[in-house]
């Protein structure tokens, strides 16, 4: 099977690409240049791909040309402006990329006959949140107060509309929680900040220590995408799916920071530095019962195990081990567990 991933140079896109390659599939990618020191560069992913295209998904005509020439069997759309705080700073780019970029990807694939199924990745932040501590199912209303969340909710809604009027192939939406794992260097992400602090003997700064998020290991998330693709190929169904941890595994920022410190072997201390400019949701949790019951999917790692494996990846790489070998070993270990 030939997979085309948009956003394959990013953190999640790289892990997804490595997983698919380990499973014996061909992978092509369309994305912006990877960040310096990214996991994409560390594991030398470029040389493993059938096609590695640099393109902004806002460039509709070029995108259509490349998707046609690549001629994939499956498209997984990950490319996005993924940061809440950057969304506040650069709202126009955020809406253009996340909304019109998604529409461009859908349009580009419409006339490519080789494409059997298409998966659009949005986020757990598409839901209309309040202070009720609702655990969201796929049927809950969508919303979004900040530019990032609003743009992803808009992308989700437009994809649902597209699914209804374009029925020649299965198109589904996956909404996942906060992923953690080795090799994330993205700004304003908790784990990279923790790793930087702990590796330098410093106390990390936490902006929202009591905020609860649906953390899960990146391999649990991307393997869920793969299982969904298999389901779509079998059933030809177009649906919406949540992928997140069990309810008891949805933990606060400070709990993650403390567990990460223990996994790193340092004292679990941190500084609370309140955010003055940008507001974030206090509680966010999603229900993945549908994926568990219909896809036979589950998180193989608890939140504690996900944190331990994440810390281990960074520590082994900092100790001089090859990022490519460490990543491949973690994928192979994961697949042994997931396929039992």
> How does residue 279 score in pLDDT terms, banded at 50, 70 and 90?
confident
> How does residue 335 score in pLDDT terms, banded at 50, 70 and 90?
very high
CB 81 within 8 A of CB 149: no
Neighbouring-strand partners of residue 170: 117
> How does residue 111 score in pLDDT terms, banded at 50, 70 and 90?
confident
231 C-beta neighbours (distance < 10 Å), count: 21
Q: Does pLDDT of 276 surpass 70?
A: no
> How high is the mean pLDDT of the chain?
95
Higher-pLDDT residue of 279 and 9 is 9
For 299-309, the pLDDT digits (tens) are 999 999 999 99
Helical residues (DSSP H) of 236-302, grouped into ranges: 253-264, 289-295
The closest of 20, 120, 119, 22 to 74, measured between CA atoms, is 119
Hey, which of 197-201, 215-219, 272-276 has the most confident mean pLDDT?
Answer: 215-219
For 246-264, the pLDDT digits (tens) are 988 889 999 999 999 999 9
Q: Does pLDDT of 85 surpass 70?
A: yes
Beta carbons within 8 Å of 293's beta carbon, 6+ residues apart: none
CATH of the domain at 277: 3.40.50.720
For 157-181, the pLDDT digits (tens) are 999 999 999 999 999 999 998 999 9
**Helix, coil or strand: residue 19:** helix
Q: Determine the structural domain holding residue 40 and report its residue range.
A: 2-338
Residue 120 phi/psi, 5° resolution?
A: -105, 125
Our count of domains for the chain comes to: 1
> How does residue 283 score in pLDDT terms, banded at 50, 70 and 90?
confident
The predicted model scores a pTM of 0.96
**Number of Cα atoms under 13 Å in the Cβ half of residue 70:** 29
Distances (CA, A) of 151 to 94, 239, 279: 7, 20, 16
Q: Which two tokens stand for residue 146?
A: 């900040």
The pLDDT value recorded for residue 132 is: 82
Q: Does pLDDT of 275 surpass 80?
A: no
- 219-223 mean pLDDT: 98
Task: Please compute Rg for the chain using Cα positions.
Answer: 19
For 13-63, the pLDDT digits (tens) are 999 999 999 999 999 999 999 999 999 999 999 999 999 999 999 999 999
The pLDDT value recorded for residue 334 is: 98
């Amino acid at each position: 099977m030939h997979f085309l991933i948009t956003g394959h140079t990013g953190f999640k896109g790289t892990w997804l690409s490595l997983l698919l390659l380990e499973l014996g599939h061909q992978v092509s990618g369309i994305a912006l240049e990877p960040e310096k020191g990214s996991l994409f560069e560390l594991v030398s992913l470029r040389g493993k791909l059938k096609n590695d295209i640099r393109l902004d998904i806002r460039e509709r005509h070029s995108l259509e040309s490349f998707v046609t020439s690549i001629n994939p069997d499956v498209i997984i759309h990950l490319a996005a402006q993924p940061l809440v705080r950057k969304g506040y700073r650069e709202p126009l780019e955020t809406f253009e990329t996340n909304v019109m970029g998604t529409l461009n990807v859908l349009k580009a694939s419409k006339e490519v006959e080789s494409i059997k199924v298409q998966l659009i990745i949005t986020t757990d932040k598409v839901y209309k949140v309040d202070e009720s501590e609702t655990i969201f199912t796929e049927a809950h209303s969508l919303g979004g107060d900040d530019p990032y969340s609003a743009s992803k909710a808009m992308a989700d809604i437009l994809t649902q509309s597209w699914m209804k009027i374009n029925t020649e192939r299965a198109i589904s939406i996956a909404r996942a929680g906060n992923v953690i794992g080795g090799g994330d260097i993205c700004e304003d992400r908790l784990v990279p900040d923790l790793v930087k602090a702990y590796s330098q003997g410093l106390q990390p700064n936490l902006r929202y220590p009591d905020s609860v998020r649906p953390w899960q290991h990146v391999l649990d998330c991307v393997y869920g995408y793969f299982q969904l693709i298999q389901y779509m190929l079998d059933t030809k169904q177009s649906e919406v799916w949540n992928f997140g941890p069990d309810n008891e595994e949805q933990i606060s920022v400070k709990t993650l920071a403390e567990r990460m410190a223990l996994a790193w072997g340092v004292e679990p201390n941190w500084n609370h530095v309140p955010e003055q400019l940008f507001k974030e949701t206090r509680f966010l949790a999603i229900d993945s019962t549908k994926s568990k019951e219909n896809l036979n999917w589950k998180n193989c790692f608890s939140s504690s195990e996900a944190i331990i494996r994440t810390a281990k990846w960074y520590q082994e790489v900092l100790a001089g081990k090859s990022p490519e070998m460490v990543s491949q070993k973690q994928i192979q270990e994961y697949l042994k567990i997931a396929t039992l």
